């Protein structure tokens, strides 16, 4: 599976939108912050995906949560 940064950015945005629809509030997520988060996810997936391609959404979700907690 090839990792496409644009797809990862879209997954991050979709996850944020989904969680907002469920009533969760988020700090400001600038395009630079989302870009940096997506770069981090892409880097992690390059090592992780060959063994676990079905877990992309879990990796995106975990990284978003870490970013929100430690930013």
SS3 36: helix
CA distances from 47 to 2, 4, 23, 35 (A): 12, 14, 34, 19
Instruction: Give the pLDDT band of residue 51 (cuts 50, 70, 90).
Output: low
Structure tokens at 52: 């676990």
Q: Report the mean per-residue pLDDT for the chain.
A: 90
What is the number of other CB atoms lying within 10 angstroms of the CB of residue 8? 22
Instruction: Give the pLDDT band of residue 10 (cuts 50, 70, 90).
Output: very high
Q: What is the pLDDT of residue 1?
A: 64
Query: Alpha-carbon distance 58 to 7, whole Å?
Result: 14
User: Mean per-residue pLDDT for 62-66?
Assistant: 95
Structure tokens at 26: 């988020």
Confidence check: pLDDT of 53 > 80: no
């Amino acid at each position: 599976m090839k990792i496409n940064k644009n797809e990862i950015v879209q997954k991050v945005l979709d996850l944020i939108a989904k969680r907002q629809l469920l009533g969760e509030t988020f700090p400001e997520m600038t395009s630079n912050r989302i870009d940096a988060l997506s770069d981090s996810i892409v880097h992690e997936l390059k090592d992780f995906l060959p063994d676990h391609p079905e877990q992309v959404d879990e990796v995106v979700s975990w990284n978003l949560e870490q970013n929100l907690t430690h930013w």
